[in-house]
Amino acid sequence: MPKCLHIEKPPLWDMRGQYQRLYAKFMERNAVHYEPLVAGRKRVLFAALHGNVLEIGPGAGPNMQYYPRDIHWIGVEPNPYMHPYLRWFADRRGLEAEIHQCTADKMELPAASVDAVVSTLVLCSAPQQRRTLNEIVRVLKPGGQFIFVEHVAAPRGTRMRLLQNLIQPVWTIVADGCCPNRETWATIEQAGFGRVQIEHFSLPFGPFGPHIAGIAYKAGAQS
């Protein structure tokens, strides 16, 4: 597989480009507060990864620190201003890496070509969440793993869910499409995996506190 692809940055006068630049910086700084709270779970989930590992929406690269050094890492990241962070972390970690500037619902990767797919805080903002999960199933090898850590909707009927519903329209606009009230666990369970393991837990982030983490296995010899 090729090394990191060369991506042209948007011109400085491009408003979308300016937003992407600022969001990349925000994500880099936000990781300082978020990562210590999920580091233990990520270390356990990522420990046995091997071969070709695809990460969708890797952002500024907070997950790089958890990957085994002998994997081939593939990143699908539509924001080109995230790419310098990803290259820096990959070089620092000594990872063989490539970056694709595309969205996870339209990945130009062969079917059954990766051993694992990783998604952390991505499915909340995927415009086509079901299509993204269909793509994940498509590119995974039989028996391959989909590893996820996502913030999700609070239980229906709770005050937290009401708050999530109230802030969702504005938050989705200002936070790059993030929807705090998505029942992502249900979409994963319905995506066609052979087996799904999901843990529900909460972090101290108000309406963004409800989380899930787990592994979904594509049906096949290793599942």
Give the tens place of pLDDT for each residue, 19-50. Answer: 444 444 445 455 567 899 999 999 999 999 99
Q: Which residues pair with 149 in a beta bridge?
A: 120, 213
Q: How far apart are CA 22 and CA 12, in angstroms?
A: 12
| pLDDT, mean of residues 60-69 | 94
| pLDDT in the model for residue 19 | 45
| pLDDT in the model for residue 3 | 35
Q: Write out the residue range of the structural domain in which residue 129 sits.
A: 15-217
Burial of 215 (0-12, 13-18, 19+ CB in 10 A): middle
Q: How far apart are CA 22 and CA 78, in angstroms?
A: 14
| pLDDT, mean of residues 176-196 | 96
Q: Is residue 187 part of a domain?
A: yes
Q: Is residue 1 part of a domain?
A: no
Q: Is residue 61 part of a domain?
A: yes
pTM over 0.85, yes/no: yes
Q: How far apart are CA 166 and CA 84, in angstroms?
A: 35
Q: Is residue 98 part of a domain?
A: yes
Q: How many domains does the chain have?
A: 1
| pLDDT, mean of residues 150-176 | 95
Q: Is residue 46 part of a domain?
A: yes
| pLDDT in the model for residue 60 | 87
State how far the alpha carbon of 198 is from the alpha carbons of 126, 155, 164, 170, 188, in Å.
Answer: 19, 15, 21, 29, 9
Name the nearest CA neighbour of 54 among 136, 111, 126: 136
DSSP helix/strand/coil, 55: strand
State how far the alpha carbon of 199 is from the alpha carbons of 105, 150, 215, in Å.
Answer: 25, 11, 9
CATH of the domain at 164: 3.40.50.150
Q: How far apart are CA 64 and CA 76, in angstroms?
A: 14
Estimate to the nearest angstrom the gap between the alpha carbon of 115 and the chain centroid: 16
User: Which residues are CB-neighbours of 77 under 8 A, at least 6 positions away?
Assistant: 57, 58, 59, 83, 86, 99, 100, 101
Place of tokens 């201003």: 81
Q: Is residue 209 part of a domain?
A: yes
Q: Is residue 8 part of a domain?
A: no
Q: Is residue 2 part of a domain?
A: no
Burial of 76 (0-12, 13-18, 19+ CB in 10 A): buried
